[in-house]
Amino acid sequence: MTTFPDLFRLEGRTAFVTGAAGFLGQEYAEALLEAGANVVFADVDGERAAAAAARHGDAHGDRAWSVVCDVASSESVEAATEAACGRFGRIDVLVNNAALTAKVGSAQMRDYFAPFEEYPLDVWERALAVNLTGVFLCCQAVGRRMAAQGRGSIINISSTYGLGGPDQRIYTGVTNPYDPDLPLNTPIPYSATKAAVLGVTRYLATYWGERGVRVNCLTPGGTYEEHEPAFVSAYSARVPMGRMAHHDEYRGAILFLASDASSYMTGANLVVDGGWTAW
């Protein structure tokens, strides 16, 4: 029997984290590195991914490595997966963290916050390509390798807005940090794709269950990222714990789902939201 502390250790295993140059992607990657895993920092922005891997490599050496990966492109996903396997031999953990946000694809992002009645089809389709098709392609490329080796853990990142609709009231009077001429909101494709990720997770959990591949979701709540005080106050008032999450408060959850500590868990959704969805 594995001793309790060792349940969370990941020595000899390799994790592939998409969107790893982002602020939460880096938190997930660092937690996995600290548990002993090799970690592939995969991101569409290769320079930022390389910089993030180099930063973490100061403490973890050659276990931190980066690769360019556009999750909306099957060719890019396959090439990144092949490169990761060439570098480390195998992939044991996949964290599907990449998502379209206002910070990504800035040419389209003025329309990212458009009201539903006027929401542009091209932005909707781009969000689906990254947030949903990206999960499909990464699960397909990495998951089939996991199934062949008889072991693996896939962690899909959903959102509280995949479980329930956004509370539009928390955006009242809040300045949009990306374009002060536009209102701030959570747009329709974000909610739709994050809800769909839950369905993908359950499907693959039953599809690969007997082949040793576990597929679960992590659903984080709102995380403080230098938001203006009015938004922080409005959001926090909606949370039973009375605050937003700190960046590092999802590390334990990602490590639990990646490691043998959750060895009998698949098809589940681990909600870490300060109680947002408990109301």
Q: Which CATH number goes with the domain that contains 178?
A: 3.40.50.720
Catalytic residues: 190
Domain membership flag for residue 278: no
Domain membership flag for residue 256: yes
Structural contact between residues 268 and 214, judged by C-beta atoms closer than 8 angstroms: no
Predicted model pTM: 0.95
Rounded distance between C-alpha atoms, residue 79 and residue 46, angstroms: 14
Angle at 225 between CA 200 and CA 25, to 5 degrees: 40
Type of residue numbered 5:
P
Q: Give the mean pLDDT of the chain.
A: 93
| pLDDT of the residue at 106 | 47
Structural domain total, the chain: 1
**pLDDT tens across 85-143, in order?**
999 999 999 999 999 987 644 445 678 988 899 999 999 999 999 999 999 999 999 99
What's the average model confidence in pLDDT over 215-243? Answer: 95
What's the average model confidence in pLDDT over 269-276? Answer: 98
Per the structure, the complete domain to which residue 54 belongs is given by 5-272
Rounded distance between C-alpha atoms, residue 127 and residue 96, angstroms: 15
Environment class of 279 (CB within 10 Å of its CB; exposed 0-12, middle 13-18, buried 19+): exposed
Structural contact between residues 168 and 115, judged by C-beta atoms closer than 8 angstroms: no
CA gyration radius for the chain? 18
Q: Which residue has the higher pLDDT, 9 or 4?
A: 9
**pLDDT tens across 62-96, in order?**
999 999 999 999 999 999 999 999 999 999 999 99
For residue 275, give both structure tokens. Answer: 């109680």
Domain membership flag for residue 279: no
Domain membership flag for residue 277: no
Rounded distance between C-alpha atoms, residue 170 and residue 244, angstroms: 13
Domain membership flag for residue 178: yes
